[in-house]
Amino acid sequence: MAGRFCGVLALLAVFLSGLDASRPAINQELSNIFNELWTLDVNRMTPATDYTISVQGRANYVTQGSHVVTDRASQPLFSNVNEIKLQNITTFTRLMKLLDNYERSTGVAERVTTEEQTEMNLFLDAVLNTEVMKRAHRYLVSKGQSNSNLRIFKNQLRLIWFNLYHRKRNSALDSCGFEHVFVGETKSGSEIIGFHNWVQFYLQEKSTHLDYKGYKARDHDLPDHDDHVLNLQFSWHGLVKPVGSAFIGTSPEFEMALFTIVFLMNTERSTTVLVNVDQCQMELVVIRHGRSLGTAYPKLLSSNSRHVGHH
């Protein structure tokens, strides 16, 4: 099971996507390093062992800002998660400590207390201590994008992920890349922005602030309980995210490593790279906010491939 991430017919999908000239070509170099990181990700949770998801129904089309949505999933997305394991993995426990440090609404100033500063430092230390981030660091050094000095690299990660900036014009310092991607934010009281992390999804769902509405996919595409990327629809504190996407089960260091590499290897304001990670084809989207991260998320393209011969 371990090797099956999205289906063995991925090669067919690669061939078919080659016929679609509008899509960028597979970035082979990044695919290679990301697969190395995938293999090194010992903290990743295993589907059906460490957690169980039930994808249920396909979500309906909803316009951004609409609060009326048909629920195509009567059960939660996560039917269970091994919390004992989560509590025993340093990067996960330190991630969870950070999730309550932010103001949900954009336009509201973030006040960073000394305690929160310490939590952020401890989280970065834990991430830097993993084989995943060590390998990502070596790769970035080899590309001339990062300094081999660990302290300088840590400051670079802090600037990318935790530097506060104005997401709303003329407002307070109200946002940062980490908050946007891992925690989620609301804008003008009418829409959810960001929110691409499965641990936050699980915790918010468990505390009933969040309601999963169903998966988003192409017509013949049926996501599976062991997919590691999902496109989904949900409501959070009464607001609806028509289409969101997240890695499922992956460690925070894996996600940070991937997006940090895409961020540093490109200079455009908005970057989309097409990669194959463990037999699954996805786009990684990174949008910058100056020298920091505006947003970053995966977009599953072909889990499709595994059903090609099944209908």
Q: Which of 196, 213, 216, 289 is catalytic?
A: 196
List the structure tokens of 97: 């400590």
Question: Which residue shows structure tokens 């998801």?
Answer: 53
Q: Which of 180, 213, 216, 228 is catalytic?
A: 180
Cα separation of 97 and 187, whole Å? 24
SS3 category, 296: strand
Known catalytic residue: 241? yes
Q: Is 268 left (phi over 0), alpha (psi -120 to 50) or beta?
A: beta
List the structure tokens of 158: 């802090």
Listed residue (256, 287, 262) closest to 275, CA to CA: 262
**Parallel, antiparallel, or unpaired: how do β-strands 185-187 and 191-193 relate?**
antiparallel
Cα separation of 153 and 22, whole Å? 36
Known catalytic residue: 196? yes
Q: Which of 213, 216, 228, 241 is catalytic?
A: 241
**In 102-207, where do the E strands start and end?**
185-187, 191-193
- Give kind and range of the element (H or E) at residue 220: none
- Backbone φ, ψ for residue 155 (5° rounding): -65, -35
Cα separation of 108 and 105, whole Å? 6
Residue 155: CB atoms within 10 A of its CB come to 13
Residue 90, CA distances (Å) to 74, 96, 252 in order: 33, 10, 10
Q: Which residues are catalytic?
A: 180, 196, 241
